[in-house]
Amino acid sequence: MSKLHEALLYEQLPENKVRCHLCAHKCLITEGRRGICQVRGNHGGKLFSLTYGKLIAAHVDPIEKKPLFHFYPSSSSFSIASAGCNFRCEWCQNWEISQEYGEESIDGTAETPPEAVIASAKRSHCQSISYTYTEPTVFFEYSYDVSKLAHAAGLKNVYVTNGYMSREMIDLYSPLLDAANVDIKAFTDEAYRKYIGAHLQPVLDACIALKQAGVWLEITTLLIPGVNDDELQLKNLVQFIVENLGAETPWHVSRYFPHYKFNAPTTPLASIEKAIEIGQAVGLKYIYGGNFQGAADTICPQCQTVLIERYGMSVLRNRIKEDNTCPVCGYKLAGVGMSGK
């Protein structure tokens, strides 16, 4: 077995049991067992992270890939992941590294020191480090250590997450977290329980807590026929965003393609268009389509001028002024570093 790193955010209980307080599952783990994420284990009555520094992905990505469209547009983000996830989505887009990985592959992976991540990010001229691809909450100890060094080096920290983190984790980490994209996968608890193995409310609570902590927040929904594409769900989801996170919160509506264990048909473009119409009617100011070409431009909510022109994840033109305002009407755009300068 590889070197173990003691976990944060857990309590020791009688009979060598532990209670993990990292995510909303709050797993009770007995001696020799692991939590739902399968990468945090009880050894001798203590909880350990089993994947600390065991990176299974490290790439330079455009920040738009996260997707974050209102956080330093066109910048590069050094993106890392370890194995594991606390969800069991039947349509998982990265199932090879989040769902079906072997313990041998984890043990056989060399540990990357946090300092090496910072060095790679600086060498690659990245403006941020993204904890992504799998669920970053489950490798929190490592992302926490990297994040402290990132801030010291002038880099931003980004979480691409399912939002199932606990309030304790948010309170500890939010001073280091600059931006997050939270995937709200459906807007009924039934869908979360049936397809994901979780509950909806903790995700919503986390979104509110992140917003209150000053983290720049964008929301993504993978629109899946028969699961989350009905008008009532979408209207309720958008109303939640507007009423609790603010109408300026960007919403990314992504097209689904059959993947992993789920075989719903590919999302019709008409469904994406309908979702965008619903979002606009409720009052969202920034709505983007994902996984297809189109609906990627940032448009001034006041004068309708195209301010950031995109093709896929590439920024072709950015007209926003350095003070985040529209050069035509002076409207203040929501976001961080929107001019890209």
The predicted pLDDT at position 116 comes to: 98
Domain ranges of the chain: 5-49, 55-296, 306-341
| Half-sphere exposure (Cβ direction) of 257: Cα atoms closer than 13 Å | 5
Q: Say what the pTM is.
A: 0.95
Among the listed residues 134, 129, 133, the one whose alpha carbon sits nearest the alpha carbon of residue 144: 129
> In DSSP terms, which residues pair with 259 in a beta bridge?
262
Q: Which helix (H) or strand (E) holds 308?
A: strand 306-311
The predicted pLDDT at position 1 comes to: 44
> How many other CB atoms are there within 10 angstroms of residue 196's CB atom?
21
Highest CATH level, class, for 55-296: alpha beta
Are 221 and 184 within 8 A, CB to CB? yes
The structure tokens listed for 30 are 């007995």
Among the listed residues 208, 188, 183, the one whose alpha carbon sits nearest the alpha carbon of residue 200: 188
Distance in angstroms (rounded) separating the CA atoms of residues 98 and 91: 12
Q: Which helix (H) or strand (E) holds 247?
A: none
Helix 269-282 with 231-240: angle, nearest 10 deg? 40
Segment-wise mean pLDDT, segments of 10 residues, the chain, 341 residues: 83 98 98 95 97 95 98 98 92 73 63 97 98 96 98 98 98 98 98 96 98 98 96 98 98 90 90 97 96 90 97 94 97 94 64
Question: DSSP string of 65-112?
Answer: GTT-SSBSTT-EEEEEEES--S---TT-TTHHHHTS--HHHHHTSPPP
Distance in angstroms (rounded) separating the CA atoms of residues 124 and 57: 15
Q: Within the chain, where are the H helices?
A: 95-98, 103-107, 114-123, 140-152, 167-173, 189-195, 201-212, 231-240, 269-282
> How many other CB atoms are there within 10 angstroms of residue 265's CB atom?
11
Are 264 and 283 within 8 A, CB to CB? no
The structure tokens listed for 257 are 């393609």
The predicted pLDDT at position 173 comes to: 98
Distance in angstroms (rounded) separating the CA atoms of residues 135 and 122: 24
